[in-house]
Amino acid sequence: MRLTSFLKTLLRWELAVLLVSGCLTSLAHASDKNFFVMDGHQSTIFVDGSVARSQNTVFYTTCAVTFVIFVLVAGTLAYATIKFKARSAADEHAEPPPQSHGNPLVEIALIAASVFALVIIAIPTLKSIWYTHDVPAEEKAKGNAYEVNAIGYQWWFKFEYPSVQINGAGTLVTANELVIPAGQPVRVNVRTTDVIHSFWVPKLAGKVDMIPNRANYLWLQADKPGYYWGQCAEYCGDSHAVMRFRVIALGPKEFNEWLDGQVAPARSVSSPVAASTAAKPQFASLRKPDSYKTNEAGITTKFDVNPLEAWRAKQFPEKNEDPALVGRGKELFKSKTCQNCHAIRGHGPLGVTAPDLTHFGSRTTLAAGLLENNTEQLHRWIHHPGAVKPGNKMQFGIGGMAGYQKKDDKGHWTQNIALTTDEELALVAYLESLK
């Protein structure tokens, strides 16, 4: 090898190494441990439910079959490319190879082999289609299937428990966090009131679309108690990306306790509306809502360590509750027209167009699974909902109901609901008290 060409080779390697190491350095900053193993919160590979497991088994079958075909076909292709490559100019100008036109027997054999490979995929596919379609008949016969309704709205989820009727208030309703019994089939009837959404909890089951005028359903069964991430999976307008929800699966005893708690009306913090209604100094250290960047994450990594425990902790009243502030928040909830859309059962408000907030304080997330439910994030949300969730109804109203801003006759936006910081904090304190 001549020196110049050796140097050139060296240079080429040098460049390649630089490029690769540059990429690796920038990757190190972003790396999350679970990219290649794919065990994130919404993994379809590491699943915790029988429906998702059946779907995953079919996926693995397709992987196995296509891998074998890949090895054979790609191997042949690579071999042919290397073996029959013209190596020199003389080679290129040699007599053309024999002008052959193909062989019908080879073709037929290859077609037969492809069909055979597809049959291997088709059999588990058909089995799984029927298994995942509805709750198995024997479970149904035993009356084991628990039924809930999931209703999609732009951009949040309402959940109904048709088997739980509350005296004088109809069906039990919650929002954005679906609590289900673990180890038991759950049939989810999916509906929508506006556009098409899709109900997807990857670790428990594949998605089924919520389509207007269509009585769709799916079923799922969580193996064990757990906390699962879900997300709308059909493009549904501006804030589709932040239309999320959670599923919390509980053991039978805990589930029934939870149901009893939900049936009860909203918790009241007994206190007259006190004279001092200014927020306490402990709020002074809170992060200012305007300091958040567009799309800034509203979650902490601490929460991810044991989300189910975090959920359990949320079922108890907050420390440092300030009854006076809560009382003022309760009044503001009515006077600032929140009650036109939201319901808080037992406290008066009975709006139905927005999430039911009766036990809001016991949820781990707010704004449809987007932000962690804590004082700071709730303050951020109430302060300027439009900055958190573009196009949401609280900002601009819905139907005849005006939100924070409304359009006047000339088409200009004007302020409709104005809140001072003290008022915002009073509302926060009130909502957090709703266990």
Residues 289-318 that bind another protein (CB under 8 A): 293-297, 299, 301, 304
Q: How far is the CB of 108 from another protein (least distance, A)?
A: 10
Which of 403, 276, 264 is CA-nearest to residue 341? 403
Q: Minimum Å distance from CB 365 to another protein?
A: 11
Cβ 72 to another protein, closest distance in Å?
A: 10
Kindly determine how many residues on this chain lie close enough to bind another protein according to the rule CB under 8 A.
109
Between 351 and 390, name the residue whose CB sits nearer to another protein: 390
| Residues from 379 through 418 that contact another protein (CB under 8 A) | 390-391
Q: Least distance (Å) from another protein to the CB of residue 73?
A: 6
CA dist., res. 42 & res. 65, Å (int): 25
Residue nearer to another protein on the CB measure, 165 or 295: 295
Choosing from 9, 76, 256, 335, the residue that interacts with another protein (CB under 8 A) is: 76
Q: Is 26 in the site for another protein (CB under 8 A)?
A: yes
Q: How far apart are CA 405 and CA 398, in angstroms?
A: 11
Taking CB under 8 A as the rule, does residue 154 contact another protein?
yes
DSSP state of 347: S
381 within 8 A of 395, measured Cβ to Cβ: no
CB of 45 to another protein, least distance (A): 6
One DSSP character per residue, 370-433 reads: TEESSHHHHHHHHH-HHHHSTT-HHHH-BTTB--SEEE-TTS-EEE-----HHHHHHHHHHHHT
241: contact with another protein by CB under 8 A: yes
∠ CA 397-401-402 to the nearest 5 degrees? 50
Binding track over 184-203 against another protein, x by CB under 8 A = ----------xxx-x-x-x-
Beta-strand pair 177-181/216-220: unpaired
Dist. CA 308–CA 313, nearest whole Å: 9
Cα separation of 332 and 419, whole Å? 10
- Told to check if 234 binds another protein by CB under 8 A, we report yes
Under the criterion CB under 8 A, does residue 168 sit at the interface with another protein? no
CB of 60 to another protein, least distance (A): 9
42 binds another protein (CB under 8 A): yes
Q: Which stretch binds another protein (CB under 8 A): 5-13, 96-104, 169-177, 350-358?
A: 96-104
Please report which residue ranges of 227-306 form alpha helices under DSSP H: 252-263, 301-305
Strand partners, 200: 231
Per CB under 8 A, the list member of 4, 25, 81, 320 interacting with another protein is: 81
Residue nearer to another protein on the CB measure, 13 or 235: 235
Least gap, CB of 362 to another protein (angstroms):
22
Q: Min. distance of Cβ 135 from another protein in angstroms?
A: 13
CB within 8 Å of 253: residues ≥ 6 apart: none
Nearer to another protein, 337 or 364 (CB): 364
Is position 232 an interface residue for another protein (rule: CB under 8 A)? yes
Kindly write out the interface string for residues 341-370 of this chain, putting x where it contacts another protein by CB under 8 A and - elsewhere: ------------------------------
Q: Is 70 among the residues that bind another protein (CB under 8 A)?
A: yes
**DSSP state at residue 226:** E
CA angle 94, 97, 98 (to 5 degrees): 145
The CA-based dihedral angle spanning residues 335, 340, 342, 347, taken in that order and rounded to the nearest 10 degrees: 50
Could you say whether residue 61 binds another protein (CB under 8 A)? yes
Tokens describing residue 323: 């009854």
Q: Which sign, positive or negative, has the C-alpha torsion 11, 13, 14, 18?
A: positive
User: For another protein, which stretch binds (CB under 8 A), given 80-88, 168-176, 254-262, 318-326?
Assistant: 80-88
CB of 177 to another protein, least distance (A): 16
How far are the Cα atoms of 207, 236, 249, 366 from residue 195, in angstroms, in the given order?
16, 6, 28, 22
Interaction of residue 233 with another protein, rule CB under 8 A: yes
Question: Applying CB under 8 A, which part among 71-79, 173-181, 341-349, 416-424 lies near another protein?
Answer: 71-79
Q: Does 15 bind another protein (CB under 8 A)?
A: no
Least distance (Å) from another protein to the CB of residue 342? 22
Residue 432 in tokens: 């957090």
